[in-house]
Amino acid sequence: MNLILLGAPGAGKGTQAEVICDALKIPAISTGNMLRAAVKAGTEYGLKAKAAMDAGALVSDDIVIGILKDRINEPDAQNGFILDGFPRTVPQAEALDAMGVTIDKVVEIYVADEKIQQRLSGRRVCEVCGNSYHVDFKPTKVEGVCDGCGGKTVIRKDDEPATVLDRLKTYHEKTAPLKDYYAKQGKLVTVEGQEEVSETSKLTLKAIEG
C-alpha cells in the first residue's frame, strides 16, 4: 500500500506516519527528515536546501524529487510506503505520477491554523536521530532527552513563531491545492487532528482501512 500524508506543518503528519508504519510494517519516508540529515552531513544538496528550510520556504522541486526517487527505489520500500511531507507542490505530485507510482490513499490530517501555531511552539526534535516530540502532546520520558536514542531534544530553527507564519502561508499557497488534485482521483480522506494523539491515530487507521 502506497500512502501519502498531507497536512499543515505541525498537524502531526510525522506522528501519524509512525503509527501507520508500525501497523502496516511499511516504511515512513519523510523528505523533511532526509533534508535535515543532508544539511547536518553538509552534502551538496544539503547546502542548497538549508537557506530555504531556515526561512520556512520550500526546497526546490528538482532537489526533493531527486532524493524521493532514490529513496522509494530502496529495497524496504518495494512493498509500500508512507510519504510524510511529499508531495508538497503540484509539480511534485505530477513527478510521482510520472515515476509510475500508484498512490492508494491520501490522508489529510486537518488542524486549524491557530492550533498549529500553539502546537509548533511546543515541538522538540532529537538532534541526533530526528525523533519528534511535543512538550504537552507527546513528551519525552525525561525532559530534554530523546526516548529513542538518549540524544538531546531541541527546538527546530524553523519552529520560531515568525517562520511558522511563513510556513503556513506556503502550505496554503503551494500544498493545499493537492487536496483537490487527489480528491479528483477519489483518493483523499480527511482526518481531524484531535487533542489526544491516540484518538487521531485511531481515526487515521480507520481512514486507511475504510
In the list 4, 28, 64, 96, the residue contacting ligand ADP (rule: CB under 6 A) is 64
Order the strands of the 2-6 sheet from edge to edge: 28-30, 81-84, 2-6, 105-110, 188-192
Q: Does 167 bind ligand ADP (CB under 6 A)?
A: yes
* CB 190, min distance to Zn ion, A: 31
In the list 4, 5, 6, 9, the residue contacting ligand ADP (rule: CB under 6 A) is 9
Interstrand relation of 105-110 and 2-6 (parallel, antiparallel or unpaired): parallel
Order the strands of the 153-154 sheet from edge to edge: 132-134, 123-126, 153-154
Q: Does 119 bind ligand ADP (CB under 6 A)?
A: no
Applying the rule CB under 5 A, the residues between 122 and 161 that interact with Zn ion are 126, 128-129, 131, 146, 148-149, 151
Q: Does 208 bind Zn ion (CB under 5 A)?
A: no
Applying the rule CB under 6 A, the residues between 79 and 98 that interact with ligand ADP are 85-86, 88, 92
Place of cell 500524508: 5
Q: Does 165 bind ligand ADP (CB under 6 A)?
A: no
Q: In the annotation, is 124 catalytic?
A: no
Q: In the annotation, is 13 catalytic?
A: yes
Q: In the annotation, is 167 catalytic?
A: yes
Q: Does 80 bind Zn ion (CB under 5 A)?
A: no
Three-state DSSP class for 191?
strand
Distance between CA atoms of residues 162 and 120, nearest Å = 11
Distance between CA atoms of residues 111 and 8, nearest Å = 7
Distance between CA atoms of residues 163 and 56, nearest Å = 5
Question: Torsions phi, psi of 179, nearest 5?
Answer: -60, -45
* CB 135, min distance to ligand ADP, A: 16
Q: In the annotation, is 119 catalytic?
A: no
Distance between CA atoms of residues 119 and 99, nearest Å = 35
How many residues make contact with Zn ion (CB under 5 A)?
Answer: 8
Q: Which residues contact ligand ADP by CB under 6 A?
A: 9-10, 13, 31-32, 35, 52-53, 56-59, 64, 85-86, 88, 92, 158, 167
